[in-house]
Amino acid sequence: MKAVAVFPEERALRLVDHREPAILAPGDVVVKVLDVGFCGTDREIAAFRTGSPPTDSPYLILGHEALGEVLEVGSSVRRIRPGDLVVPTVRRPCRHETCRACRMGRPDFCLSGEYSQRGIKDAHGFLAERFCDDARWLQPVPRELRDVAVLTQPLSIAETAIAELDQVQKRLPWSALGETGGSGKRALVLGAGPVALLGAMALVVRGYKVTIYSHAGRGEKAEFAESIGAQFVTAEEEKLQTLAGHLGRIDVMFEATGATPDALAAMEHLGRNGVYLLTGIPGRRGAFTLDAGFLLHGMVQRNQVIIGPVHPSAEAFRAAIQDLGLFSRRWPGALPRLIANRISIDEAPEAFRQPTSGLKRVVAVAD
Ligand SMILES: [Zn+2]
Ligand SMILES: [Zn+2]
């Protein structure tokens, strides 16, 4: 079958003829791949800056954001049946007996660091015609989300961040009075890529007043933001300092820029008791300068917390699937606007080398 693979040693990226997956254990499921989204991590892998193949393979099959349809299930699988739509999670457990997280089925909190990640680290990804996985790593998706469920994995990153935010803000003395969630609170989303816009939607449905701050121009992103009830401000229109001045207290900053120096410096404008959520991983662009002493002083003085959760659990995937349904009902037609034109698997190797348009790019592997 066809798959798109990167050969780090050869520094090559191309279509390969990969062996067909088969059920080997009673918990296995064979899935026909429908859509695979790609993001900055894939482009980093395609540029040979990160990513590692399984130990027995010269290449790594790309793709960690997938939607598929179940073809065949092993004898012990009950929860999932052939014909069901499923989204796979990405991380798989390490082998260490002493890793409590992985032994509890929670590789998102792996203690040894020797977890694998499908399509990224030591395990093949999903950009192939079919793949096999254990049923416990597959999340069922309702049929009506067929066209947008490829957004589950990027949204699961935002869900992870927001779940941790809720956890942290239980520290506030008034949370016990039932004042939870975002009702009346102010969130500033930094960036306007898919994770930023999905995160903005998730914050709006939780009651936050959301402003999206982008370094790119206005255009269709601004229109999208307004359609979901968020404000859209560009760096060209307003300096962050002035914006922060008239927004009032910013309770949450949701960073989705790839942790750029500008986004990190924005921490200075976070309000008292605020939380700064990092959802991007800085690219390997080298060191940059920030006045850490000034930022840390402010953090301590103002009771602020920084969290960097980008490794979603199965529960975060389930929350994402549920929210995709909610977003589709609340804003019909909005989610498909986050997806750029779908391309075929034959066009994929070339597409990984091209710069991003800012929308989610998707390979349509099958209909
Ligand atoms: Zn991704
Ligand atoms: Zn582990």
Residues 179 and 292 in one domain: yes
Distance 340 CA to ligand 1 centre (A): 15
Residue 111 placed within a domain: yes
Token duo for residue 183: 């009702």
User: Rounded to two decimals, what is the model's pTM?
Assistant: 0.94
Q: Kindly report, residue by residue over 46-63, the tens digit of the pLDDT.
A: 999 999 999 999 999 999
Q: What CATH number is associated with residue 279?
A: 3.40.50.720
pLDDT of residue 241: 82
Closest Cα to residue 6, out of 17, 18, 16? 16
pLDDT of residue 266: 86
pLDDT of residue 204: 97
Q: What residue numbers bound the domain in which 217 lies?
A: 155-307
Residues 112 and 244 in one domain: no
Which residues contact residue 256 at a Cβ distance below 8 angstroms, ignoring those fewer than 6 apart? 158, 189, 190, 191, 193, 195, 196, 199, 279, 280
- Give the number of whichever ligand sits closest to the CA of residue 151: 1
Q: Mean pLDDT of all residues in the chain?
A: 93
Residue 333 placed within a domain: no
Residues 172 and 293 in one domain: yes
Angle, nearest 10°, between helix axes 152-168 and 194-205? Answer: 50
Residues 194 and 235 in one domain: yes
Region 88-108 average pLDDT: 97
Distance 194 CA to ligand 1 centre (A): 10
Angle, nearest 10°, between helix axes 194-205 and 219-227? Answer: 20
Distance 137 CA to ligand 2 centre (A): 15
Structural domains in the chain (count): 2
Q: Kindly report, residue by residue over 263-314, the tens digit of the pLDDT.
A: 888 888 999 999 999 998 776 667 888 888 888 888 899 999 999 877 899 9
Residue 319 placed within a domain: no
Distance 180 CA to ligand 2 centre (A): 32
Residues 302 and 180 in one domain: yes
- Give the number of whichever ligand sits closest to the CA of residue 153: 1
Residue 322 placed within a domain: no
Residue 134 placed within a domain: yes
Residue 278 placed within a domain: yes
Q: What CATH number is associated with residue 80?
A: 3.90.180.10
Residues 9 and 139 in one domain: yes
Residues 263 and 356 in one domain: no
pLDDT of residue 263: 82
Torsion angle of C-alpha atoms 106, 278, 37, 80, degrees rounded to 10: 30
Q: Kindly report, residue by residue over 201-245, the tens digit of the pLDDT.
A: 999 999 999 999 998 888 889 999 999 999 999 999 998 888 888
Residue 332 placed within a domain: no
- Give the number of whichever ligand sits closest to the CA of residue 152: 1
pLDDT of residue 180: 64
Distance 301 CA to ligand 1 centre (A): 35
Q: Chain-centre distance of CA 56, in angstroms?
A: 28
Distance 93 CA to ligand 2 centre (A): 5
- Give the number of whichever ligand sits closest to the CA of residue 98: 2
Residues 7 and 139 in one domain: yes
Distance 228 CA to ligand 1 centre (A): 23
- Give the number of whichever ligand sits closest to the CA of residue 64: 1
- Give the number of whichever ligand sits closest to the CA of residue 198: 1
Distance 150 CA to ligand 1 centre (A): 11
pLDDT of residue 90: 97
- Give the number of whichever ligand sits closest to the CA of residue 109: 2
Residue 220 placed within a domain: yes
Distance 52 CA to ligand 2 centre (A): 18
Residues 286 and 172 in one domain: yes
pLDDT of residue 179: 67
Does residue 34 have a pLDDT over 90? Answer: yes
Residues 183 and 51 in one domain: no
Distance 94 CA to ligand 2 centre (A): 4
